[in-house]
Amino acid sequence: DGIDINRINAEYGTTVVQTFPGTNIYVLAPPERKSAKKLARSLRRAEWFVWSEIGQFNGSVSIQQGFSGARVDGFSAASLDGFSQAALDGFSQAVLDGFSQAVLDGFSQAALDGFSQAALDGFTQADLDGFSAAALDGFTQAVLEQFAAAILDQFTQAMLDQFSTAYFLDLTIDALDGVYGARARDQAAMLNINALGAHEYATGKGVTVAVVDTGISNHWYFRDRIVPGGWDFIDNDNDPTDELAWLDDNGNGLRDEGWGHGTHVAGIVRTVAPDATILPIRVQNSEGESWSFIVAEGIEYAVDHGADVVNVSMGVRCKSESLEYAVKYAASRGVTVVAAAGNADKDNLHYPAAYTHSVAVAAVDNNDIKALFSNYDSKVTVSAPGVEIYSTHGEGQFAWWSGTSQATPMIAGEAALILSAKHALLPSELSSVISQSADNIDGLNPEYVNMLGGGRANLLAAVQPNAELNDTSSDEPSYTSHNDEPTVTLIDEPDDTSSEKVSKKKPKKKRHRKGRSRQRD
């Protein structure tokens, strides 16, 4: 009551695109803006104004201040406590059961993405937990169950791959060449993509790759390669370390199953592009959980802090306006987003890989056969090895890990090599070079013809000065785009200045807030 829709439209330049008879709820369209980022900001302001009015809050309160406990309690008291059991049951029966899949999809995209981007940017994890407790306590179990059945699958919660138990081995027999682990460099995957040959022409020097993931550990392999300015969107601080909590935060029976993912991914970038620098951005907790709007913020942060390439080894199954805005924003600034196709063995891509402006990466094994877990689609840009990839883990260890998450940083590293060799390429041009220089593997994958992109990446062909590639770029850059049970086998390796074993003592338990996100694959 009391909403003056004309005043809202006048103040924010919005227009009413839908009304609901018998209610004072309106769907507003923001004014046109020159960029997706400005459009998103306009949408945020308009949506927040409406939500604050409905919640009987002061519309002038800055969202960046977040919800205080009093405001959360006020929302609960004002909006939830007044519901009787009969009213809730009636609401459930009349509204939730009547939702069609199309309506749910629309709600997911318009409300979840838009509202999260608009209203959650300023929240801390404590605020989110408080809001969740205040809101859910007012609903009955019956309503929650029906709501979950109807819409839970549409929420944009981003999850890491389902990882099996990590097996630690006391092995320190791997030789080092003084630059990086010989096994990481000489493994079959690197030989298959011609990484060493490519290093004769380019090493990634002068290029920065942002790794938007679980953070990066303090591992000797990254010495002099991590640039300052990284950010932790889970703890909201400037320490994007890959943290181990030793807790089962999400109650799924697995403890910290996502820990080490970002470190492993970053190590692959380091091996493929040894002289590139890495910008760590933490958008997921040690369980591998996040929300799409947090991932979107991570991508935008990377663009605004000097990244040339953004690696996103994560994804979600449903569309996210927040993510799409972020990917478009990156492309508009000349930054290439490389994203994982997904590990569901499905003929579609996870987001953000499915968006036009992303480079989508599928996974193959070391025989160039599609990995059993990898998604596939005609929109895939390229494929790369993603089975039993050897890379960094923990603080001084190495591990084998599988997934499109591992294939993706090979292509992010390739992008860094190309940019260091050929310099000022637009994202669309870079995507074309990556796709066209790949080795066609359709003959080895007759069931997936034209579904694995240009083929398995060939880094040497991509960086050679005499490579002649057709220009297939369009005005709108075209890019695209985990699984058996991926396994992690950990090995201790000494760094290049010491032959002592790396201690595998449990890290000191450190609590951190659960990250519910803006996204991941």
Active site residue ranges: 213, 261, 405
Contacts of 46 (CB under 8 A, 6+ apart): 8, 12, 14, 28, 30, 118
Separation CA 237–CA 53 (nearest Å): 31
Burial track 155-169 (b if 16+ CB lie within 10 A, e otherwise) = bbbbbbbebeebebe
Q: To which H or E segment does residue 292 belong?
A: helix 292-304
Residues listed for the chain: 521
Q: What is the largest CA-CA distance in the chain?
A: 75
Query: Of 437, 280, 431, whose CA–CA distance to 360 is shortest?
Result: 431
CB 189 within 8 A of CB 414: no
Separation CA 364–CA 371 (nearest Å): 4
CB 303 within 8 A of CB 296: no
CB 449 within 8 A of CB 442: yes
Separation CA 196–CA 459 (nearest Å): 9
Q: Is the dihedral of CA 330, 331, 332, 333 positive or negative?
A: positive
DSSP, collapsed to helix, strand or coil, labels residue 199 as coil
Separation CA 262–CA 362 (nearest Å): 18
Q: Is the dihedral of CA 224, 199, 353, 192 positive or negative?
A: negative
Q: To which H or E segment does residue 359 belong?
A: strand 358-364
Please state, in angstroms and as integers, the Cα–Cα distance from residue 429 to each residue in 70, 72, 426, following that order.
52, 48, 5
Please state, in angstroms and as integers, the Cα–Cα distance from residue 112 to each residue in 206, 292, 320, 372, following that order.
38, 10, 8, 32
CB 371 within 8 A of CB 467: no
